[in-house]
Amino acid sequence: MKLNICHLYPDLLDLYGDRGNILALAARCRWRGIEPVIQQASLGEELNFMEMDILFIGGGSDREQGLLVQDLMRREDQLRGAIENGLVVLSICGGYQMLGNYYQMANGEKIQGLGILDIKTIAGEKRLIGNVVVELDQYGLNYDPDDVRTMKASAHKLRTLVGFENHSGKTYLGEGVRPLGKVLFGHGNNGEDKDEGVRYRNVFGTYLHGPLLPKNPHLADLLLELAIQKRGWKTDLNELDDHLEVLAHEAMLHKLLKQA
């Protein structure tokens, strides 16, 4: 069995080590006998999102986001269609922002977004930087409250996400989307409404760098489960020994929430 994983703009949106998420997904595939087929694409390079199972877009500076916006706009229709068809997307920070309506930078200039997610981002006076703990709401790992698919990942013992944020953009959610959860430590989407991240169908956006997935194996496995479900495979993911990942996750919970 193979899963096609695409890393979009790895040369531009690579400022915070987010490629570690690709390494984590690939490892968790291999540990289960699934072959991860990793494809990269950047400016001007052709890509068929309909052939992808998981799309990853990392974070970067305002400058890089401005450089890629035209190329990204060119891909809007196909990406929108693939997302409506169940493409699994993990987008981090700048990559997350670009899926929304726009990103208004500190100088007032607006970078147009794809408008696939009803979110908007406006740069604040100060950068939101630091460790983050997010409490997943009871639906955080299931997009639709009525979603009766028994997601193993949603039954995972970890009910939080941990990571690191560094952004000037403050993101506000609109219609048809939901946050991943509530901030217990740190700022999250905007440092105001305690929301962090976004979920729309199989699309996940978050401000959490780290990289995110090594310390959040339950989210990594949810992305893989959703991709396998989309493929219609009659199999599910066997359990992995995540004791080291859980230890790292819980060390952050102890460090930060004891401080909080």
**Residue from 120, 167, 201, 249 binding ligand GLN (CB under 6 A):** 167
Catalytic residue among 7, 167, 187, 209: 209
Instruction: State the chain's maximal CA–CA distance in angstroms.
Output: 51
Asked if residues 222 and 154 have their Cβ atoms less than 8 Å apart, the reply is yes
Three-state SS string across 31-77, please? CCCCEEEEEEECCCCCCCHHHCCEEEECCCCHHHHHHHHHHHHHCHH
Please say which residue, 179 or 210, places its beta carbon nearer to ligand GLN: 210
Q: How many CB atoms lie within 10 A of CB 25?
A: 25
The yes-or-no answer on residue 93 being catalytic is yes
Q: Residue 135 and residue 115: Cα distance in Å, rounded? A: 27
| Residue span binding ligand GLN (CB under 6 A) among the ranges 109-117, 142-150, 164-172, 192-200 | 164-172
Q: Judged by CB under 6 A, does residue 168 bind ligand GLN?
A: yes
**Residue from 10, 140, 169, 197 binding ligand GLN (CB under 6 A):** 169
Closest approach of ligand GLN to the CB of residue 228, in Å: 29
User: Nearest to residue 50, comparing CAs of 7, 73, 84?
Assistant: 84
Closest approach of ligand GLN to the CB of residue 208, in Å: 10
**Which residues, in sequence order, are bridge partners of residue 8?**
41, 57
User: Nearest to residue 4, comparing CAs of 72, 71, 50, 46?
Assistant: 50
Q: Judged by CB under 6 A, does residue 112 bind ligand GLN?
A: no
Please say which residue, 101 or 142, places its beta carbon nearer to ligand GLN: 101
For residues 211-240, which are near ligand GLN according to CB under 6 A? none
Q: Judged by CB under 6 A, does residue 163 bind ligand GLN?
A: no
The yes-or-no answer on residue 218 being catalytic is no
For residues 45-104, which are near ligand GLN according to CB under 6 A? 59-62, 65, 93-94
Burial class for 83, CB neighbours closer than 10 Å (0-12, 13-18, 19+):
buried
**ω before 211 within 30° of 0 (cis)?**
yes
| Residue span binding ligand GLN (CB under 6 A) among the ranges 22-30, 161-169, 177-185, 224-232 | 161-169
Q: How many residues bind ligand GLN (CB under 6 A)?
A: 12
Residues annotated as catalytic are 93, 209
By CB under 6 A, name the binding residues for ligand GLN.
16, 59-62, 65, 93-94, 166-169
